[in-house]
Amino acid sequence: MLYFDHSATTPLRSEVKELMQSINDANYGNPSSIYALGRKARSIIETARKQVANAIGASSDQILFTSSGTEANNQVLWTLIFSSKKHVITSAIEHPAIIKVLKNLGPLGVSHTLLPVNNSGIVNLSALVPALQKDTGLISIMLANNEVGSIQPIEEIVRIVGQYNIPVHTDAVQTLGKIPIDISSLDVDFLSLSAHKFYGPKGVGVLFVKDKKKIKSLMIGGSQESGLRAGTENVAGIAGLGLAAKLAKDKLSSHSEHLKKLETIFRKKLGKINPNLVFHGDHHHCLPGLISLSFPGQKADILMAKLDRYGLAVSSGSACSAGTVTPSAVLKAMNVDDSLNTATLRVSFGAGNTQDDVEELLSGLKNALKP
């Protein structure tokens, strides 16, 4: 099977796998214990915290470990129920870990406004200030979209709302290792990451918090993570995350160039196979190696099934379930009509892909598109 769905998840780097195995074998102590095994486990966690902080230009005391990017997002949003300002401004193309949470917070007094995006999936900044309310307590806009890869102008958003003293959160789950992340430049109050998106383990995430006084614990119990995330820590997972974050930063330039190279080859040759295809997103402000494209007259679920039979793994721009295809909310927000929406595939390259893999994918698509 050739894998072209790295925006969904990535394989573990060999170095990460080896580190996690060694920790599971030899460093199984509880980090809260004061004897040697516990102290070693604590030391491993703090090393990982420094690695993550260095990867994004933060201080280690601003890094909280969670179980996922979803949990990190939830923690920021659920904190609003303790605030006197319960209005959130977000975008129409956010991940369900933002949109669905806000809908569930509605009965608890949290309201939200969805900012529109243009046809390339970039937030309409002119709509930001008019959307502000007296009780706006948070702006939450993703750094880069998971379906079309559009990179959002977070620095500009922070600049615009700075005079109103409103905290800004960004879901940066798709970005580490693909584009630079510098907290000092972004100047956000909260930022979410997930290890399995940058060749780390599943089940481990990060929440950057500029000021811990502005966040509440979602998990109640022990005093782990400065009292802001109760529960015995996943030591091996956190160590794997830390190393994966370090490698993501160290390999950023070569990795992003590799992805761009594969993407360029794919785009150029794909046009010869089907000149009628439609690309989505802003090609100039987009994550490298992520391509959202529609094949007019086709159905994404059928194309995916054919490619799967050829041993090629890609994803759909739509949610496929029980034989039905639901149009992507992201593409709908970008004014993509339903016929193109449900004909959309997402291809996302990764570190292990080669030019030969791209040729195999192109060949598979050519065959899949035959009547």
**pLDDT one-digit tens code per residue, 35-81:** 999 999 999 999 999 999 999 999 999 999 999 999 999 999 999 99
Residue 346 to residue 353: CA distance in whole angstroms: 15
* Structure tokens, 263: 């993407």
Catalytic residue among 8, 114, 265, 320: 320
Task: Quote the pLDDT of residue 319.
Answer: 54
Same domain, 324 and 227: no
Same domain, 236 and 171: yes
Task: Name the domain boundary from 215, 250, 285.
Answer: 250
Mean pLDDT rounded to a whole number for the chain = 96
**pLDDT one-digit tens code per residue, 172-201:** 999 999 999 999 999 999 999 999 999 999
Same domain, 144 and 235: yes
Same domain, 136 and 244: yes
Neighbour count for residue 337 (Cβ, 10 Å): 12
Number of domains in the chain: 2
* Catalytic (active site) residue 286: no
Task: Quote the pLDDT of residue 318.
Answer: 56
Burial of 178 (C-beta count, 10 Å sphere; 0-12/13-18/19+): buried
Same domain, 257 and 308: yes
Same domain, 174 and 75: yes
Stated pTM of the model: 0.96
Q: What's at 233, amino acid-wise?
A: E
Instruction: State the residue range of the domain holding 193.
Output: 14-250
317 or 60: whose pLDDT is higher?
Answer: 60
Pairing of strands 63-66, 205-209: antiparallel
Task: Name the domain boundary from 213, 230, 250.
Answer: 250
Task: Quote the pLDDT of residue 321.
Answer: 46
Same domain, 245 and 267: no
Same domain, 296 and 222: no
Task: Name the domain boundary from 197, 224, 250.
Answer: 250
**Cα separation values, 231 from 26, 32, 90, 286, Å:** 21, 10, 30, 37
Q: Is residue 90 part of a domain?
A: yes
Percent of the chain with pLDDT over 70: 98
Same domain, 276 and 299: yes
CATH code, 200: 3.40.640.10
Residue 191 to residue 206: CA distance in whole angstroms: 8
Residue 270 to residue 276: CA distance in whole angstroms: 10
What's the mean pLDDT in 294-311? Answer: 96
Residue 194 to residue 52: CA distance in whole angstroms: 11
Task: Quote the pLDDT of residue 271.
Answer: 87
* Structure tokens, 182: 């510098």
CATH code, 354: 3.90.1150.10
Q: Are 357 and 2 in contact (CB under 8 A)?
A: yes
